[in-house]
Structure 1
Amino acid sequence: MRAPTASPELFASLTDDVVASGSETVAVATPSTGETLHELPRSSADDVRDAVARARLAQLAWARAGFAERRRVLLRAHDLLLDRADLLLDLVQLESGKTRGQALEEVYQAASVTRYNALSARRVLRGRTRRAGVPLASTTRVRYRPKGVAGVITPWNYALSLAAMDVVPALAAGCAVVQKADDQGALSILALRRAFIDAGLPEALWAVVAGPASEVGEALTDQVDYICFTGSTATGRKIAEKAGRRLVGASLELGGKNAMLVLDDVDPEQAAADAAYACFSAMGQLCVSTERIYVHRAVAAPFTKALVERLDGATLGSSLDYGADFGSLATAAQLERIEAHLDDALAKGATVLAGGRPRTDIGPWFFQPTVLTGVTPDMRVYAEETFGAVASLFLVDSEEEAILAANASEYGLNASVLTRSRRRGRRVADSLEAGSININEGYRGTFGSVDAPMGGVKASGLGRRNGPEGLLRFVEPVTVSTGILPLPRSGRDFGLVAGPFLLLARVLRAIRRR
């Protein structure tokens, strides 16, 4: 394994950027060995309040700077991200345990999101003329005002790309950001921020805090003008309640129990390759990963054989190169969660088709990609989000049965359909209850489409990131009307114009004028 680009000196330099007034730190381990990677400062509630106050002042100037200046800074940051790709790849791997290839997806996504928002903000958010209520009597225009300071709470699993997907559109829209980084993903976030600061972004405009959710997360949701959260449904509900009481907006990407439908016309080998990656990229520690596979009985035998062979032959590792197919779980807590779900399922009669055991010979939190069959509703793995390394395979006898089974979940984040027929795939997709649906791919088609909205339905969240929708969440529309002709102000005035007004309404209907 080659030596990492990152160093302890760099770690210390990056963590100095955390807003923290005290001396308390927490040790953060690397999944490859379980040893301490760096010490991360702890922020307090007062640190959060101070960061928000400074961000408010910086936001005033940033909003006045205009689209052209914001575009210039963001495009320069985009270039720096690509220049620093090796460093960012190293940090993502060292913090998360991902393979090099899966880290590359994050770096590419962060650059794509930055470029998209830099080039799209003016088009999406520029003021527009709207039809006035009474044509010729007035003009109406809608403009967009930045909401102010956005709070962003980013998890550890895809820290780099998820940070970019929330922070960058907020900056492009003219907002400031105070971001709570998870301990396990803080270095990636801080390196992302450093590229933007070096590109010319005012330091106070994007602040990073770190610490326990009970203190730092609560303080953040109490202070900001809009909140973005990615994480569990249980925590998302609490954040939504607090945002509702404060009458501020929120976008919430929450849990998933994502389904893949393998139809009876697939190429079993290709479908198995797609399913393996959809389930076990980042060891399944991704909100849009597949955890339920519904395979038509007609192709079940060759598909299952190909899937097991592919997983049994996969290379697990944490080297800083492209040699491994799958990486490590991120933390000891993740390993415990997966083993608890697996033990419960096996005790109640499930069968292991592939995997099923830890690989401590490679690293402390490595676990074989695991596929179960015989999973029943009384098992935790049946309906709960496992979030890592375990997927369940179910046989179905028809397309309709697969659709009903896929929709029989409280979640609705991502789904996928494997079929030789794109028309059939689109037809099945139209029946699935999910915020994003991929045909002949697991999740990357929708996840990487930065011009299209991404989010969940049902218990999988509220709001959307990416696309114009991802920008519009950070602004308030303001309607400005300018009078040209005087409108009636007295009973006599209304009497004089009543007939012409009603005639105007009929004319507008006749010419189909909205």
Structure 2
Amino acid sequence: MTAVISPAEQLALPAQTVERLTKRAAAGGAAAVAVHAPATGVKIGDLPQSSVADIEQAFATAREAQRDWAARPIAERAAVFKRFHDILLDEQADILDILQTETGKSRPHAFDEVGDVAVNSRYYAKVAAGLLDPHKRNGVLPILTQTTEVRRPKGVVAVISPWNYPLALSASDALPALIAGNAVISRPDNQTALTALWANEVAERAGLPAGVWQVVLGRGREIGGEVIARADYVDYTGSTATGRTIAAQAATRLIGCSLELGGKNPMLVLDDADIDKAADGGIRACFSSAGQLCESMERIYVHTDVYDEFVQKFVALVDEMKLGANLAFDSDMGSLTFQRQLDSVSAHVDDAVAKGATVLTGGKARPDLGPYFYEPTVLADVTDAMAVYRDETFGPVVSIYRVASDEEAIAQANDTAYGLNASVWTRDTKRGRKIAEQLRSGAVNINEGFIAAWGSIDAPSGGLGDSGTGRRHGADGILKYTDSQTIAVQHLLPIAPLPGMSDEVWAKTMTLAFRGMKLLGLK
């Protein structure tokens, strides 16, 4: 049976912390909403909400502040986030408390977010100049045409972030936009708004001018459209259904958007895998943040030769997991965040069991621990008649399937509308790479669940199909917040017939020139 750590008697945040942070929001024109700690049900505070007038004023302020911010040298903008990086690490205990209180997740999983933001801050502060500085490009006529590509910030970027990873998905998406010279209007989920406001406060302490990054508050269905209607670019992380709506709204205005959406991610355990490592890695892959992670594994395909050994070891490790949400590094998994998540998880498991699935461990809520705790759950004998087979659960539930070959595992893994993340376990990394190339997924981790690819932020991250469009991380993660501009200077001769030259002679001359440039290997 899964071990238990009793939740702290009082997880709600100090009143002065809540008051200090909520005052930072561009909000107050609409009625406040109460927010509670998921792990205990204790009230955190009343969160002010933004009216249309609040949003209008925030964008007006942002546009004025953005002009001065964009005029600063890239190195000066980057230096702000080098300082942000240091403050974040120095004061991580404060944000870990806030993060845990708002989400109900365990402290190790909250620290994952601190690490994510630190790595992104360091990376983009380091590479921004190399990516954003003007770059010389080949002109149409060598020497005579001198061409330069320059990057211009979009203007005001809207970052609409969810509740499940509120620090990583608000700050890590905002900071490259800011370093690129944009202003940012963040719309975090109400449940986790204090986390985003804390990051906003730290950025200004690090030297970001007031007004460049602001936070508006409200439910997506009430203010989301108002934010998108005023933005020059939209970065959204959340459900596929909402992503489709945002894509349509952005298309109507002919502005760009980046969407990271849902996932039903597969983990493949090959016949030569190190089973101990695969079972241990599967715990992190499936149950980080109680499975409320779009990158987490919800399906495990195990080769029949090692199926029994893997299942025995994996289930044993799940049974040893400690549940709790104390503000300390003493639990393996925390709480779900909302009643609706608990309902969804329970419905998936109950439906599967009613239709013949076997619960290998877990399978029930734990109200004795807190309102939304649910045991880490492993299912077998799952079929396509069950909702859990194809629908994203977004909770601590994983289904295990027996497969007879690599080909069968690949086919089953690709049998989904999603394509965000995948994991392959094998001692032969060459074989693993070959299989990875056949998986329809934006990222594939070999001998790791999700952090290897996610944390390698020099490479892009994003999904295929119903998992979204656009990329965060890498060059794409900052260049998407800019428009390219080509400046071409023509010297000495025009790109046209010389005086007295007929169009026919001009065409023949240029034909010879094109052939010559090909022979010389010119681009």
Aligned to 1:300: 307
Counting only pairs closer than 5 Å after superposition, residues 66-465 of structure 1 correspond to structure 2 as: 66-465=73-472
Q: Please give the per-residue CA displacement for 1:442-499, whole angstroms capped at 9, x wherever unaligned.
A: 1011111121110000110000001111011000000001110222257843455444
3-state SS of 2:263 partner: coil
SS of the equivalent of 1:393 reads: strand
Question: Which whole-Å deviations, capped at 9, do the CAs of 1:117-166 have from their partners, x for residues lacking one?
Answer: 11111111110111110112221111000010000100000010111221
Residues 5 and 86 in structure 1, CA contact (< 8 A), matched pair in contact too: no
How far, CA to CA, are the matches of 1:426 and 1:258 in structure 2? 17
Q: Distance in 2 between matches of 1:260 and 1:485?
A: 61
Give the superposition deviation at 1:403: 0.3
Deviation per residue, 1:172-201 (Å, 9 max, x gap): 100000010101211111111111011111
The question of whether the paired residues in 2 share the 8 Å contact of 1:417 and 1:440 is answered with yes
Which among 505, 511, 518 is matched to residue 509 of structure 1? Answer: 518
Change (3 A) 1:4 1:340: closer
One-letter amino acid of the structure 1 residue matched with residue 512 of structure 2: L
Gaps (5+ residues) in structure 1? Answer: none
Alignment check: 8 A CA contact 2:29 2:53 kept: no
SS of 1:353's equivalent in the other structure is strand
Whether contact under 8 Å (1:100, 1:321) holds in the other structure is yes
* Equivalent residues of 1:45, 1:215 under 8 A apart: no
Counterpart residue identity of residue 410, structure 1: A
Report the secondary structure of 1:204's partner residue: coil
Residues 8-33 of structure 1, C-alpha deviation per residue, up to 9 Å, x if partnerless? 20111001111113262111111220
- Number of equivalenced pairs: 514
Q: Deviations over 1:356-393 (max 9, x none)?
A: 01112221211100111111112111111110111111
Q: Do 1:260 and 1:293's aligned partners in 2 also have CA atoms closer than 8 Å?
A: yes
The 8 Å contact of residues 154 and 229 in structure 1, kept in 2 or not, is answered as yes
For 2:517, the aligned partner's letter is L
Distance 2:447 2:295 in 1: 15
Judge which range, 408-417 or 31-40, deviates more.
31-40
Aligned residues of 1:358 and 1:366 also touching (Cα < 8 A): yes
Q: Is the 8 A contact 2:12 2:37 kept in 1?
A: no
Q: Does 1:52 align with 2:64?
A: no
Question: Residue 26 of structure 1 aligns with which residue?
Answer: 33
Say which SS state the counterpart of residue 400 (structure 2) adopts: strand
Counterpart amino acid of residue 317 in structure 1:
G
Contact 2:34 2:47 in 1 (8 A): yes
Q: State the identity as a percent.
A: 45
User: Is the Cα contact below 8 Å between 2:13 and 2:44 reproduced in 1?
Assistant: no
TM-score (norm 2): 0.96
Q: Separation in 2 of the partners of 1:104 and 1:66? A: 32
Structure 1 CA distance for aligned equivalents of residues 467 and 10 of structure 2: 40
Provide the residue aligned with 2:5 in structure 1.
Answer: none
Q: 1:491 to 1:259 in 2, by over 3 A?
A: farther
Higher mean displacement: 229-238 or 13-22: 13-22
Output the CA distance in 2 between the equivalents of 1:274 and 1:214: 38
Post-superposition Cα deviations, 1:289-310, rounded to whole Å, max 9, x if no partner, equal: 0001111111111110111111
Alpha-carbon separation, structure 2, partners of 1:335 and 1:491: 79
Q: When the two structures are superposed, what TM-score results if normalisation uses the length of structure 1?
A: 0.97
Does structure 1 conserve the Cα–Cα contact (< 8 Å) formed by 2:497 and 2:506? no
Kindly indicate whether the alpha-carbon contact (under 8 Å) linking 1:225 and 1:248 is maintained by their aligned counterparts in 2. Answer: yes
- Distance in structure 1 (CA, Å) of the matches to 2:123 and 2:500: 55
Tell me the amino acid that sits aligned with residue 519 of structure 2: A
Residues 3 and 363 of structure 1: CA distance in aligned 2, closer, same or farther (over 3 Å): closer
Counterparts of 2:408 and 2:472, CA distance in 1: 31
Report the Cα distance in structure 2 between the residues aligned to 1:481 and 1:213, rounded to whole angstroms: 43
Which letter does structure 1 place at the counterpart of 2:322?
T
What is the rounded CA distance, in whole Å, between the counterparts of 1:450 and 1:292 in structure 2?
A: 25
Cα contact 1:5–1:87 (8 A) shared by 2: no
Letter paired with 1:289: S
Contact 1:151–1:221 under 8 Å retained in 2:
yes
Aligned residues: CA RMSD = 1.5
CA separation of 1:219 and 1:8: change in aligned 2, threshold 3 A: same
**Mapped contact 1:455–1:465 kept (Cα < 8 A):** yes
CA shift at 1:5, angstroms? 11
The one-letter code of the counterpart of 1:501 is M
- Does the 8 Å contact 2:30/2:51 carry over to 1? no
**1:6 CA displacement:** 5.2
Residue identity opposite 1:511 in structure 2: L
1:203 partner SS: coil
Distance across 1 between alignment mates of 2:129 and 2:29: 41
* Residue pair 2:10, 2:42 contacting (<8 A) in 1 also: no
